[in-house]
Structure 1
Amino acid sequence: MTERYDTAVEQWRSAAAPKRHVRGLLKAMAAGIERCMYCEDSQGTDIDHFQPIAHDPLRAFDWLNHLLACSHCNSNTKGRKYPCDDAGACLLIDPTTEDPAAHLVLYLASGEYEGITPKGMATIDVFKLNRPTLVRGRRAAFVTAKNLLWGWYEHRQAGRTDEAEEIVEAISESPFSAVVRAIMTLPTPVARTVMGAGTLPAMDEWRRHMAAVPSPRTGPGE
């Protein structure tokens, strides 16, 4: 195992051209602007091996094991960590196959995550998702999202389609997209308190608008 690991690490380190290609593809595929798949900040610079090379050297060049991550999540916090339960199943949320909302709750006012499953708790711990810079970023994103949502609604009501679409693009490319998702799942009584009663029509209109947007195709004929 040690020999396989050493060989895989050496081959990965020396694969400059393939890594540039993979990194470029991951950045092009990322939602938003080079968004880290773990913390959702727009600082995706690294190719992360979801299952670290130390755990499975044979997956070093496995495309399905490559995710775009910021250097903090990839190197400073995760590193070789790959927690598993007693049955050997990984305890980290795989953002390519799982909905993080099934494992995490985001509190909009504080900007902090709470794990509601073992996977959620392990993911928060490994990636330090409540580190101060991310908490501050989510709080700021919440204030920004509220104002953008209201501005978008006013443009829609006034028939200013181009201006409204500019805001849609700004929201889609903003970091911390989980903030917008959390806003849209708020029950009405909670939304009235957190967002303000005047924002409820904008939230309802946004839900209708997004429901009508066609899903992007994932392949020919799909």
Structure 2
Amino acid sequence: MIPLQRVAVSAHAQMLLTRWTKRVEAAGGTAEAARAQWSEGTAPKKHVRAALELMAHGAVRCMYCDDSRATDIDHFEPLARAPLRAFVWANHLLACSHCNSNCKHRQYPVGADGVCLLVDPTAEDPAAHLVLLLKAGMYDPLSPKGEETIKVFGLNRPDLVKGRLDAFALARSNLRDWHSLHQEGDPEADVVAQALLDSPFIDVVHAMTRLKPGVAEFVVGPRTVPSLDAWRAMHALQP
């Protein structure tokens, strides 16, 4: 999971979202009413999806697992809990069907203070709550919110762990190739860089850029450290 910048929707899109929120209210403001209106709301959903796809990284990857293509508009706070947020732009994220339907579904754990215990990558930096252990391919919690996020989204499910380990091996090699091409002034360096930024498991590359100097050599290996340092200066994702 990486931080994502939420974009502003157009005035027309916001007008549609407000109009459809009023339709939910007029229909009783219940979860059933919200689901029915959401099912019918083709026009506002079109705008929401377009804006979310602008925010997603690479080939429209899931905003939770960073692996699969994002196919579903997820209501971060579920309709069963907040029907009047069905058409609220800040409550929409883009997820793959597995993270949305198989993992999160209607889960929305909250703490004793009523604050949600799931990380919204468009509202906060996930690194404040969980850390990716690159050599294990697994996330480790740094807070109760991180612990719940890992559990609810299944971020340590075996296929993701294997994918991250493979991505880590490839990223180290690709970084060295990119650095060599960059030093030679070869324009192909930009192609390799963009491929890395667009790749699945971009959370692996993002975690690499956040390694402290004393730790980086142990994690990525001494051969990769100069390439990683050069990458940080030019292509590191912003927190």
* TM-score normalised according to structure 2 size: 0.83
* CA RMSD, Structure 1 to Structure 2 (Å): 1.9
**Runs of 5+ in structure 2 lacking a partner?**
1-24
Q: Does 1:53 align with 2:53?
A: no
Q: 1:99: which partner in 2?
A: 125
- Percent same amino acid among aligned pairs? 52
Write out aligned runs for 1:28-67 (5 A): 28-67=54-93
Secondary structure of 2:224 counterpart: helix
Cα deviation, residue 16, structure 1? 3.0
How many residues end up aligned between the 2 structures? 212
Distance 1:23 1:11 in 2: 16
Return the letter of the residue paired with 1:81. Q
Q: 1:168: which partner in 2?
A: 193
Q: Does 1:198 align with 2:201?
A: no
Q: Which has the higher contact order (CA 8 A, sep 6+)?
A: 2
C-alpha spacing 1:50/1:57, structure 2 compared with 1 (3 Å): same
Secondary structure of 1:67 counterpart: strand
Moved more, 19-28 or 108-117: 19-28
Write out aligned runs for 1:94-133 (5 A): 94-133=120-159
Cα deviation, residue 174, structure 1? 0.7
Distance 1:16 1:76 in 2: 24
1:32–1:42 contact (8 Å) kept in structure 2: no
Write out aligned runs for 1:19-34 (5 A): 19-34=45-60
Write out aligned runs for 1:181-220 (5 A): 181-210=206-235
Return the letter of the residue paired with 1:200. V
Secondary structure of 1:198 counterpart: coil
1:73–1:127 contact (8 Å) kept in structure 2: yes
Query: Which aligned runs of 4 or more in structure 1 are off by greater than 6 angstroms?
Result: none
Cα deviation, residue 3, structure 1? 6.2
Cα deviation, residue 20, structure 1? 3.2
Q: 1:153: which partner in 2?
A: 179
Moved more, 124-133 or 10-19: 10-19
* CA deviations over 1:61-109 (Å, ceiling 9, x no partner): 1111110101111111111110000110000001111111111111111
Cα deviation, residue 189, structure 1? 3.4
* CA deviations over 1:174-214 (Å, ceiling 9, x no partner): 11111112112223333222222121111111112237x9x
Q: 2:16: which partner in 1?
A: none
Return the letter of the residue paired with 1:210. H
Q: Does 1:141 align with 2:167?
A: yes
C-alpha spacing 1:5/1:199, structure 2 compared with 1 (3 Å): same
* CA deviations over 1:124-143 (Å, ceiling 9, x no partner): 11111101111111111101
Secondary structure of 1:77 counterpart: helix
Moved more, 182-191 or 164-173: 182-191
Distance 1:130 1:137 in 2: 11
1:33–1:42 contact (8 Å) kept in structure 2: no
**Runs of 5+ in structure 1 lacking a partner?**
216-222
Distance 2:77 2:96 in 1: 16
Distance 1:5 1:203 in 2: 48
Distance 1:29 1:188 in 2: 30
Secondary structure of 1:197 counterpart: coil
Q: Does 1:13 align with 2:30?
A: no
